[in-house]
Amino acid sequence: MAKGFNWQLGREINYPYEPKRPKRQFAVVMDLNKCIACQTCTIACKTTWTPGRGQEYMLWNNVETKPWGFYPLGWDVKLLELLDGDKKTVFDAPEGERILGWKPDDLDWMYPNIGEDEVNEPVDIGTVIESFPHPIWMFYLPRICNHCTYPACVAACPRQAIYKREEDGIVLIDAERCEGYQECVKACPYKKTMFNFVARISQKCIGCFPRVEEGLQPQCVITCIGKIRLMGFINPPEGARQENPIDFLVHIKKVALPLYPQTGLEPNVYYIPPINVPLRFLRQMFGQGAEHAVKTYMAMREGKEPELQAVLHLFGSTPYIPHSFAVGPNEVIAYDEKGKEIVRVPLVEPLQYRPHKDEKLDVVRQDIP
């Protein structure tokens, strides 16, 4: 076993192959305070990548309701049982196994909307919720492949059919090498590798790499009507750039956190935790940084973090990948890899006043007093 440093855990982890970070690493940040579970991202991904035979059940992008929703069934409950909370990583496998994992039953994939919109406990009639966190709560969790720095699927594949691209860190499956052993399905703790029962091979989220190669953000990002997502490239903490929006959110402000970092995989999809949820639950999902992230987000809502608020305005503002940003007195500006401006977003949406009667058109507007 080789050794690799996992900055999310702050220590070295065991890995079957010599770890090598890519030239740049694909990453996505999602603001869970804004997700409304409209499933536009799910449909965008489904119609683009998985409309074929054997893919009927596949949702490379899914949105589940926490605390009672899972796709596949009970995936994170079983994960926490395997890891004994946070006492192990998936690389702490028994002798003869490369990865500590489990393979879902076929029927476990059949309930993608189980627990949807269900709160943590029954609500009495007349209950009023006036403070954060809420005693009665739920939130939506959108999920794609994490394109991990130390992917369990890569480590587990006996055919070496899964690889991590050097140019962007996206994890892909070589369909010609895959023999359908499903070791990757068993190994992935997030259950984002799936088996095509018709083609007899494993398939997974490809990070919309054809779009990324053209400097464009993935389908699930650009179609999100809640504007909760931003895709870019993340650096390790020691190489973080303040002007990089992903580095700013993850490393500088530490408001965006990985999902179940205790797996040891160093996942590269990051979440801004929902402020309505008790910290005990958030720490279990996102680690010990959850309290700081919530406090920072709350401060932003109170006007105390103007730069953070400006960066959040970039979510959903452009189809292009932002590599850097600058905040002006009235707007935030994003730039591409070459430093060319790609979008300019006002910090405060300007008000547009229209008269009750438009003299030029000779019409009266009924919605204006």
Residue 240 resides in a domain:
yes
pLDDT of residue 369: 63
What confidence category does residue 168 fall into, taking pLDDT thresholds of 50, 70 and 90?
very high
Is residue 368 domain-resident?
no
Spatial CA neighbour of 366 closest among 351, 352, 354: 354
- Per-residue pLDDT tens over the stretch 118-138: 999 999 998 999 899 999 999
The CB-based long-range contact list for 121-124 (8 Å cut-off, 24+ gap) reads none
Is 257 part of any domain? yes
Same domain, 227 and 203: no
| Least confidently predicted of 125-134, 265-274, 300-309 | 125-134
Confidence of residue 352 (pLDDT cuts 50, 70, 90): confident
The residue among 158, 177, 207 that closes a domain is: 207
Whether residue 105 is found in the same domain as residue 155:
yes
Has residue 242 been placed in a domain? yes
Same domain assignment for residues 63 and 182: yes
Residue carrying structure tokens 């919530």: 294
How high is the mean pLDDT of the chain?
96
* Residues 280, 333 share a domain: yes
154 domain-assigned: yes
Tokens of 285: 């999902």
Do 183 and 75 fall into the same domain? yes
In a domain, 255, yes or no: yes
pLDDT > 90? residue 366: no
Give the tens place of pLDDT for each residue, 277-293: 999 999 999 999 999 99
Torsion region of 112: left, alpha or beta (phi above 0 gives left; psi -120 to 50 gives alpha): alpha
Both 194 and 219 in one domain: the answer is: no
Tokens (6 digits) for 120: 């943590």
Tell me, yes or no, whether 120 and 154 share the same domain. yes
Asked if residue 29 lies in contact with residue 246, where contact means CB atoms within 8 angstroms, the answer is: yes
CATH number at residue 129: 3.30.70.20
pTM, two decimal places: 0.95
| Same-domain pairing of 263 and 171 | no
Position 359 in a domain: no
At residue 353, the pLDDT reads 83
Which residue, among 232, 255, 229, 235, has the nearest Cα to 307 in the 3D structure? 255
Domain boundary among 207, 230, 249: 207
Range of the domain at 339: 213-346
- How many domains are there within the chain? 2
Whether 245 contacts 314, CB under 8 Å: yes
| pLDDT tens-digit series, residues 28-55 | 999 999 999 999 999 999 999 999 999 9
Percent of the residues in the chain that have a pLDDT greater than 90, as a whole number: 91
| Cis peptide, bond prior to residue 67, ω within 30 of zero | yes
What phi-psi label fits residue 307: left (phi over 0), alpha (psi between -120 and 50 degrees) or beta? alpha
The answer on 333 and 258 residing in a single domain is yes
Lowest mean pLDDT among 3-12, 40-49, 56-65, 125-134: 125-134
For the cut 90, the answer to whether the pLDDT of residue 151 exceeds it is: yes
In a domain, 23, yes or no: no
228 and 203 within one domain: no
Give yes or no: residues 196 and 242 share one domain: no
Domain end position, chosen among 207, 226, 253: 207
Cα 322 to chain centroid distance, Å, stands at: 17
For every residue of the chain, which 3-state class applies, written as one string?
Answer: CEEEEECCCCEEEEECCCCCCCCCEEEEEEECCCCCCCCHHHHHHHHHHCCCCCCCCCCCCEEEEECCCCCCCCHHHHHHHHHCCCCCCCCCCCCCCCCCCCCCCHHHHHCCCCCCCCCCCCCCCCCCCCCCCCCCCCEEEEECCCCCCCCHHHHHCCCCCEEECCCCCCEEECCCCCCCCCHHHHHCCCCCEEEECCCCEEEECCCCHHHHCCCECCHHHHCCCCCCEEEEEECCHHHCCCCCHHHHHHHHCCCCEECCHHHCCCCCEEEECCCCCCHHHHHHHHCCCHHHHHHHHHHHHCCCCHHHHHHHCCCCCCCECCCEEEECCCEEEEECCCCCEEEEEECCCCCCCCCCEECCCCEECCCCC
pLDDT in tens, 220-239: 999 999 999 999 999 999 99
Pairing of strands 201-204, 193-196: antiparallel
Sign, CA dihedral 272-220-7-188, equals positive
Q: How confident is the model at residue 368 (pLDDT cuts 50, 70, 90)?
A: confident
pLDDT of residue 367: 78
Clarify whether residues 143 and 264 are in a common domain. no
